[in-house]
Structure 1
């Protein structure tokens, strides 16, 4: 199966952030990320999976939250094909979050 992602602008109101199946990290504050998104925009697009007329987050929960916090109405996202397997979604979620760490 080809897991090639394509990028598209997605309305934030079509993204269901309540489905946390693929959340790898714990919920942490988004203040620093919100400031960064407000200043630079999204540098690394969140990954979404289609579910009916909505999208679920595979990776990028905090980025989506930061976009909402600053009042954006849409976001550039990387979209998985609908036929992506559960294993592929999990692998992408892990890969996307594997290098997340504070820079000190």
Structure 2
């Protein structure tokens, strides 16, 4: 039995984070990959990443990936309210650093 496609599969969203960061997130048709593109201060940065996805409630998804830079990103995407809780970590001075943020999704 095949799992149903995630609700974000084949869609593109503008993702605006509470710290001012913004991204254009384009999800593959099968929901297994993401191409994110930085906007504003992050313009010109992008990556195509493999996703790990679990639906934790109707239209609410836990989505995680690791970027080539070593940054890890975990989202709880609520497609009912178009909101996201995001936790990202990276290697900083003295060890791993993490930040928790909220954001909004706008279909693009």
Normalising by structure 1, what TM-score?
Answer: 0.27
Going by fraction, where is strand more abundant, 1 or 2? 2
